[in-house]
Amino acid sequence: MDPLEALVAQIQGLSSTPGDIARLHVILKQADDSLRSESTRLSSVLAQLAPSEHSLGFLYVLDAFTSGQISKQQAETTVPIITGFINACNAEQIRLAPEKFVLVCKRLKDQVMMLEAPIRSVGPLFTAARKLQLSTEHLTPLHSDFLLLCLLAKCYKTGLSILEDGIFEVDQPRDLFLYCYYGGMICIGLKRFQKALDLLHNVVTAPMSSLNAIAVEAYKKYILVSLIHHGQWQISTSLPKYASSVAQRSLKNFCQHYIELANSYGTEKIAELEAYVQTNTEKFENDNNLGLVKQVVLSMYKRNIQRLTQTYLTLSLQDIANTVQLNSPKEAEMHVLQMIQDGEIYATINQRDGMVRFLEDPEQYKTCEMIEHIDSSIQRIMALSRKLSAMDEQISCDQLYLSKVGRERQRYDFDDFDVPTKFNI
Amino acid sequence: MDADDDSSNPMIDEIYANGDAAEGGGGEKRSRRLIISGDQFDIEAYASLYSGRTKIARLLFIADQCGDDNSAMQLEALRMAFDEIKKGENSQLFREVVNKIGGRLGLDYTMDVAWCEAVDRRAEQKKEKLDNELNAYRTNLIKESIRMGYNDFGDFYYAHGQLGEAFKSYVRTRDYCTTSKHIIHMCMSAILVSIEMGQFTHVTSYVSKAEQTHEALDQITIAKLRCAAGLAKLVSKKYKLAARKFLETAPELGSQYNEVIAPQDIATYGGLCALATFDRTELKTKVIDNINFRNFLELVPEVRELINDFYSSHYASCLEYLANLKANLLLDIHLHDHVETLYDQIRHKALIQYTLPFVSVDLQMMASAFKTTISELEKELVALITDNQIQARIDSHNKILYARHADQRNATFQRVLETGRGFDRDVRSMLLRTNLIKHDYNARSLSRKL
């Protein structure tokens, strides 16, 4: 019998119970090379297999099928096959061969990039990531690819939905870096600056033994978002102590222009800031950060106007324009209007007198929604606390940790804490 | 001219008069005022308050400050300095003064080479004599004589302007001091030299050393020490402490500390520092109701008036007095650097005190009370509000200042939510990092095992 036919029969036969699937897995691993050699016949094989029941087999065949060079026309046909498979496949089966699954998905990504239609794979990769995850806190290599495609396809909201899950389990640090970096960019696109700051902060302060390019780029964006959101950025307080020493020493050497931009921002002179941006436009453009830099300049106006709300009850538009160094009352009016719409200040504009009246924050913290909000926050934090204690307990029981601590601990007393020898490596 | 104006603190009225003439309201202002005179700053009267080296130093300072605008006063000051120096033994200072005069005062006031040489020769001889005496005493190991010898050396160096050597000699007597009187003498000399040198850290340490002696000190010495401590604090910008020290000075001191400070100065320094830094209750109890300090304030009635005006909220006249005094105070060697700061502080306190009792203030009235324009006043108020010294907001349309009290309840809620979010963020990233480190560690130890 044709080995391929035999394989197909086995796949079809052994895909029902977990025991069978385990045996199938072994068989498939052995048959991997032979599959690759028969790539031309594989499309017909694929037609015989059902993705939802024979997921594991389908996966192996698909992997062999897509492993060669694929031209654009071929991509047209393979993309639907892969997307169909992802949507239909069985999660437990593919978790037995995660690397292959990841490989297939990566090829999908390459193909849609070749076809210049990244949006075609946004949905499928979303499903794929969810299926591959062991839990919602688990980061897979697919997450970063998914986010990259969201960025390219400009589907920011879909990307945001996966970012809402907190990530705690990570297999590969590199995945984390890319995930946080792309995630940060998506949040910037949606103007969720606080969340972007958190994600970028994770990249910059992650433990790393040597500097990598992702961290450098993330640091540049971190500086800019920090300026936009907080209105200040001090180099002395920028990196907390728990950031790796490599990061603390060398990151700033690569981001000289941004640090100077932050210093110029700190002087609160808009003219200087704009001049600096003008002279260094190309450098910012090369890093693809020019848009963000322009937002930084805009945020300076906003911050100045916000400061005015602290000292004045009413102020004429002309005075606002003068204090904030804008060119005309019309511009001041536009800025104030934009800020009111964005909810950054509370004010009313009296166009007849050309006056702006600043109001207090109307939030009284008395409504039911607010109570619910506070209550849910408390619940969330309590859950987080529990998680923290659980992790603490887990580490104290961890073998490696105990052995390291046991080795380094002094023996004060003869019969004090005798560490069992089996923990000494 | 004015009975009150007894050489204590005459004013330069020119500057004020010029401003007044421009405003055209000079006449009525003058008639309303108690103490104002058209005299020039009387250098002779001022200099007669002091004695010794400080007199010369002050005269030279005045001459420097006058510059070329006011050459009459400058030459007057230099002339008096010249005369003083000739009475002493300091040839170095003599040469300096002659250079500054530059022949402008006629032949009497030129370089007297003969005098210089004579002084230098005398100095050499004296030094040799003192040296021999000291060596003799040292070989004899008589403590008291050695102490006297070092003291004489100190005096000698001081007279000749070698302040560093003088200080060292005085300090050396410490090992040979037997009674507390000796220690006090040493401390006072050291303090004097340190003040002349401008090293006020030494002043503070020697003042505390003197105060720690077991014997009770007499009134005058205590008063002197207080003055010296006050000066030290003033120079190091600790105005509140300086004010306290000056206010504790006993009036019996009178002019007995002329070689450092005049009683008028004590009143001025103490009054201004107190005004700039004390709150209302302290101002009342320690300054206005202080009987001892009243004696000093009698010598400078302007300062007394201005403190009373401030307390009774007559800010316009208070600020007028201050403006008048300013030119004089800029000529004072110790206060010169601090006048601007003190004045700013006093002005800010006046503004804050004015707005404190009201819920709303009409800026027009406030501007007329402080004799400025509304826009100037608005700028100053904005600065104070931004600095959080005034809790208010300005209605720029109607030009009214409204007091505004922060809503504690809302603020608390905001803080709580913010803290919760912060905690959330921090713990999440910590857990993530822990996992990364654990993973890394596992990977490394795994590779090690293999």
Concatenate the DSSP letters of all residues of A158-201 into one string.
HHHHHHTSPP-EES-HHHHHHHHHHHHHHHHHTT-HHHHHHHHH
CA distance B58 to B23: 35
User: What gap in Å lies between CA A289 and CA A303, rounded to an integer?
Assistant: 21
Helix (H, G, I), strand (E, B) or coil at A99: helix
One-letter-per-residue 3-state SS of B207-232: HHHHHCCCCCCCHHHHHHHHHHHHHH
Alpha carbon distance B150, B445 (integer Å): 75
> Residue A5 has which token pair?
């036919």
Tell me B395's DSSP state: E
Put simply, the answer to whether A170 touches B432 (Cβ < 8 Å) is yes
Structure ipTM: 0.80
Determine the residue of chain A that is closest to B385 in CA distance.
A311
* 3 state SS of B402: strand
- 3-class state of residue A239 by DSSP: coil
Assess whether pLDDT exceeds 80 at residue A67: no
| Residues A249-265, mean pLDDT to the nearest whole number | 84
CA A128 to CA A98: how far, in whole Å? Answer: 11
CA A68 and chain centroid, separation: 31
Q: Which candidate, A213, A130, A224, places its Cα nearest to that of A178?
A: A213
Question: From CA A262, how far away is CA A267, in angstroms rounded?
Answer: 9
Average pLDDT of chain A is 81
How close A169 comes to chain B (CA, Å)? 6
- Closest CA relative to residue B17, chosen from B2, B1, B37: B37
Check A381 against B395: CB less than 8 A apart.
no
Q: Which residues pair with B361 in a beta bridge?
A: B401
Inter-residue contact A214 to A204 (CB < 8 Å): no
Give per-10-residue mean pLDDT for chain B (450 aa).
Answer: 40 33 35 34 82 85 76 81 83 82 74 84 90 88 87 88 88 85 87 88 89 80 88 91 90 82 88 90 88 88 90 88 86 87 91 89 90 88 88 88 84 90 88 82 64
Residue-wise pLDDT for A26-65, tens only, equals 877 877 777 777 767 777 777 777 777 777 777 777 777 7
Question: Cα distance from B406 to chain A (closest Cα, Å)?
Answer: 11
Which of the pair, A120 or A424, is modelled with greater confidence? A120
Note whether A47 and A84 are within 8 A (CB): no
Q: What is the DSSP letter of A357?
A: E
| Closest to A154 (Cα-Cα) out of A106, A177, A178, A188 | A188
Interface test with B, best of A312, A378, A387 (most B CBs within 10 A): A312
Tell if the CB–CB gap between B429 and A205 is shorter than 8 Å. Answer: yes
Judged against a pLDDT cut of 70, whether residue A196 lies above it is answered with: yes
| Cα–Cα distance for residue pair B381/B33, rounded to 1 Å | 29
Instruction: Report the distance separating Cα A154 and Cα A189, nearest Å.
Output: 9
Residue of chain A with shortest Cα separation from B421: A377
Gyration radius (Cα) of chain A, Å: 28
d(CA B161, CA B196): 10
User: Which three-class secondary structure state does DSSP give residue B3?
Assistant: coil
> Chains A, B: CB contacts under 8 A, how many?
101
Q: At what angle do helices A119-132 and A156-163 cross, to 10 degrees?
A: 10
* Chain B: residue whose CA lies nearest to A391: B431
Closest CA to A214 of A238, A236, A247: A247
pLDDT by residue (tens digit) across A322-372? 888 888 888 888 888 888 888 888 888 888 888 888 888 778 888 898 899
Separation of alpha carbons B242 and B195, rounded Å: 15
* CB-based contacts of B287, cutoff 8 Å, min separation 6: B247, B270, B271, B274, B275, B278, B293, B307
Closest residue in A to B389 (Cα) is A311
CA-closest candidate to residue B238, choices B349, B343, B338, B307: B338
Q: Chain A residues with CB inside 8 Å of B427's CB?
A: 384-385, 388
Q: Which two tokens stand for residue A169?
A: 């389990």
Mutate one of B436, B437, B450 to test the A interface: name it (highest A CB count within 10 A).
Answer: B436
Q: Taking CB atoms and an 8 Å limit, are B427 and A198 in contact across chains?
A: no
* Dihedral sign, Cα of residue A137, residue A143, residue A146, residue A151: positive
Contact B450, A183 (CB under 8 A): no
Query: Does the pLDDT of residue A258 top 60, yes or no?
Result: yes
Of residues A345, A265, A364, the one with CA closest to residue A307: A345
Residue A125 DSSP class: H
Q: Mark out chain B residues that contact chain A at CB-CB < 8 A.
A: 382, 385-386, 393-398, 402, 407, 409-410, 413, 416-417, 420-421, 423-425, 427-442, 445, 449
